[in-house]
Structures are given as C-alpha cells and as structure tokens.
Amino acid sequence: MNNQALTPESTAETREIVLAARAAGSRLLPAGRRTWPGAGGWTRDGGTTVSTSRLDAVHHYEPADLTLTAGAGIGLDRLARIVGPNRQWLPFDAPGSSAGTLGAAVASGTSGPLRNRYGATRDNVLGLEVVTGDGRSLRIGGRVVKNVAGYDLVRLFTGSRGSLGIITRVSVRLFPIPEADETLLFAGGPSEAVSMARTVCTSEVPVAAAELVEGEEVGADRAMVLAVRLLGGPREVEESRRRIRAALGTEPWRALDDGGSRRFHAARIGWEEGASLVARLAALPDRIDAAVAAARACATRANGAQGSAAITADVLQGLVRVRAALPDFDPTRLAETLATARREMEALGGSLTLSHAPPQVGARVGWTGSRRETAALTDRIKALFDPDSVLAPRCP
C-alpha cells in the first residue's frame, strides 16, 4: 500500500486528485506520514492513500502573535524545532508518535493529558484549509486567536478522521514554554495509586496533567505510578510541589526536572505504538476507580500467554486506556470482555470506545457505543461534504 500513496504538493493538486477519484468512483484514504495507519476503525480496506507528507511548508509564523500556519504534512517534531528557539510550543500530546503530522493530529482530534492545562486539540486549532470529498477547497476559521465569524466548521473537521475532507493547511495557537517543567512520580499499590489520583483531582493545586502508569514501565517496583506534571513559573511550581506532597502525605518516588520531565512525557506519547488493541474507557473523574478496574479486567483477559497488556489513565479527564499486543487471543472471549466492560462503563454514565482492534473484534463489539440520536445529523453532514463517499467512512 505504501507504493501507491499519492503525495500532492499543493492544495490544488489535492483537489485534482479528489475530483479525479470522484469522477472515477474510486476511494481515497487521507493520511499524514502514515505513522499510525488504521487508527480507529474508521478507515477501511481498499482505496488509495493520499498522504499530505509533502504539504509541509511553514506559511506564516509570527512569534509575537503566538500563531503558526503550516501545511498539514509538517511533522510535529519539526514544528517543535521551529518554534522551540522562541521558547514556544504546541502542547499537543495525543497518543501517536512525535513523527506524526500536524494534519493527522487535527484529523484524529484526540487530546492527551495536557488538555487539562491547554485545552483540547480543537481548542487550539484556529483555522484550516481542506479539500472536501466533493472536491471543493475551503478556508475556514482564520489565524487569529478569537474568531466567531460564521459557523464553526473548524471544530467539525477537527476529529473528523478524513471522512469529510483532506486537511491541507492548519493554523494553530502556540504557547510559551513554561519556565519550569517538573514531574513528580508517586509509586504505590493499585488501590493506593488510584486514591492518590483522586486526591490530586480534587486538590486546588493547578496541576498541568496527571497520569497513572504501570510501575514496571517506568522501572518502579510498585504496581502503579502516578505522574503529576507541574508547569509554570519556578515559584509557582515549587509551591505546587510542596502542596502536592502535603496532600498525598508522601514523598515522590522520583522527581523529574525540566529535561527529565519533558523526555518522560514525550515517551508517553508513543505508548500505544505497536499495539493491536487499544480501548479507551471514559468516566467522570470521581469514578476513575471503576474505570481502572474495568480496564484492568480487559487487560488481564487480553494478555493471553504473552502478558504485554497494560493500562494507563489520564486521571484529570477520567480517561483510562488499555493496550495489548495480542499475538494470540480468543476473539470471542476478548469481545465478551470488552462488551462487559462497555456495559459497566455505560452504567456509570461513561463509555468505551476502541481505537485499535483486530477487525473481527471491532466488528463484534462495535467501535463505539450506540449514539443513534445523532446518526441522522451525522449522515447529513457526511453527505454535505462527501456525497459519493470518496473519503474515509463517516464517523460513527
């Protein structure tokens, strides 16, 4: 499939490709650098990949405005190198790879733990240029940080996963890199860690992000580690550190300062890499214990003989993820486990969605829970932008 990828060099070229595909009745799969193919079950077999990897120019960057406009194919790593010297960054830490593209990050629309401090991906996308499935090229939003002119199509495209159009250009809001970046790692047994997480959730300390991770992934000898990230001015961070320690009544197992903290979190972005099953369990933050338990059950079942399954939780958002490699597994039993977990989560008012799964499992369990009431709207939106289904299937 790699060798058939089309790599347009301009929006106009992208448009020609779409128009040609539409005329020929063929299918296209929008993609970035394809570091993360097949995510979410929204892609499908067949079709030609259109990669934005060559649309990677920086069109506009005015550091004092803290905004940047670039081609969708620019790698997040390269973007960081461009804005870094001005002590600026784009705090996108959604699961994926740092080699992923800006356009793909917007198209997938997921957010990482920093969402708590900086808002979700969609809060920081200011404008887009897209080529829709019916071959129109649209410029929506703008490059100023506040803009309510017209309906918010930018939000619609953020997270639309290539089902409405191919994103060719993106304007984003940047942030100053905080003077201090620190991560405190608290280790504990499974229930201890969860209870620490809940304490952090309700504390008044302005925590930038908080994640539960498997102890062994970070070399701790306890089952779980709670990673609390503090960002801000040095005094604020120092005070926060003091208060977090007081609130938890314990010393951190380890404290990572600037470089260490950044490296730790950069590594977390790739946590899902190589997994063939990724499930996301969401609940209100005060039910994180139930979500962690349900996730653990899935992980245990998915483990099979290999035992590589793991969980992680973004405790401030109430989001728990399960990852498994699944070299050998029983699809029926796995599907049952996932279905049970989904029922449990839905009973709590939460949800379970699959971002990666073997097709037979995905088909059996369903990638998402049912959201029938919005189905009619969703169909009409899909029809508005991609009436002939040239692009990826509509979002569920």
Stretch 347-386 residues interacting with another protein (CB under 8 A)? 348-351, 353, 367-368, 371, 373-374, 377-378, 380-381, 384-385
Query: Is position 343 an interface residue for another protein (rule: CB under 8 A)?
Result: no
Backbone angles phi, psi at 309, to 5 degrees: -70, 150
* Distance of alpha carbon 284 from alpha carbon 346, whole angstroms: 11
Contact between 240 and another protein (CB under 8 A)? Answer: yes
Q: Considering only 8-16, 24-32, 77-85, 117-125, which stretch makes contact with another protein by CB under 8 A?
A: 117-125
Among 153, 167, 226, 244, binds another protein (CB under 8 A): 153
Q: Which residue has the tokens 């996730």?
A: 295
Nearest distance, CB of residue 306 and another protein, angstroms: 27
Distance CA 108, CA 395 (A): 11
Q: Contact with another protein (CB under 8 A): which of 24, 149, 305, 347?
A: 149
Stretch that binds another protein, among 26-34, 197-205, 295-303, 336-344 (CB under 8 A): 197-205
Q: In a 3-state reduction of DSSP, which class is residue 117?
A: helix
Q: Rounded to whole angstroms, how far apart are CA atoms 103 and 338?
A: 31
- Could you say which of 45, 204, 221, 328 contacts another protein (CB under 8 A)? 204
Which pair of tokens denotes residue 343? 């029922």
Beta bridge partners of 227: 185, 211
Would you count residue 387 as binding another protein (CB under 8 A)? Answer: no
Question: Would you say 153 or 299 has its CB closer to another protein?
Answer: 153
Give strand ranges (E) for 87-190.
88-89, 125-132, 137-141, 165-173, 175-176, 180-188
> Do 224 and 214 touch, CB atoms closer than 8 A?
yes
The minimum distance between CB 178 and another protein, in angstroms, equals 7
| Closer Cβ to another protein, 225 or 392, answer by number | 392
In whole angstroms, give the CA distance from residue 206 to residue 31.
36
Q: Which residues make Cβ contacts (< 8 Å) with residue 181, sequence separation at least 6?
A: 229, 230, 231, 237, 257, 258, 261, 262
Nearer to another protein, 35 or 86 (CB): 86
Determine if 142 is a binding residue for another protein (CB under 8 A): yes
* Residue nearer to another protein on the CB measure, 249 or 372: 372
| Residue of 146, 274, 328, 347 that binds another protein (CB under 8 A) | 146
Task: For the segment 210-239, give every residue that binds another protein (CB under 8 A).
Answer: 232-236, 238-239
Question: 371: which 2 tokens?
Answer: 């959201």
Distance CA 258, CA 118 (A): 18
Tell me how far apart the alpha carbons of residues 181 and 16 are, in angstroms, rounded to a whole number.
Answer: 46
Phi–psi pair at 231, nearest 5 degrees? -130, 140
Tell me which residues in 48-107 interact with another protein (CB under 8 A): 62-67, 86-87
Cα-to-chain-centroid distance, residue 378? 21
Stretch that binds another protein, among 10-18, 209-217, 246-254, 281-289 (CB under 8 A): 281-289
Options 1, 12, 144, 246; binder of another protein; rule CB under 8 A: 144
- Smallest gap from Cβ 328 to another protein, in A, equals 28
The reply on whether position 285 binds another protein by CB under 8 A is yes
- Taking contact as CB under 8 A, which single stretch among the options 131-139, 220-228, 257-265, 303-311 is the one that binds another protein? 131-139
Task: Note whether 360 and 338 are within 8 A (CB).
Answer: no
Alpha-carbon span 163 to 382, nearest angstrom: 7
Q: Is 9 in the site for another protein (CB under 8 A)?
A: no
The 312-341 site mask, x for binding another protein (CB under 8 A), equals ------xx----------------------
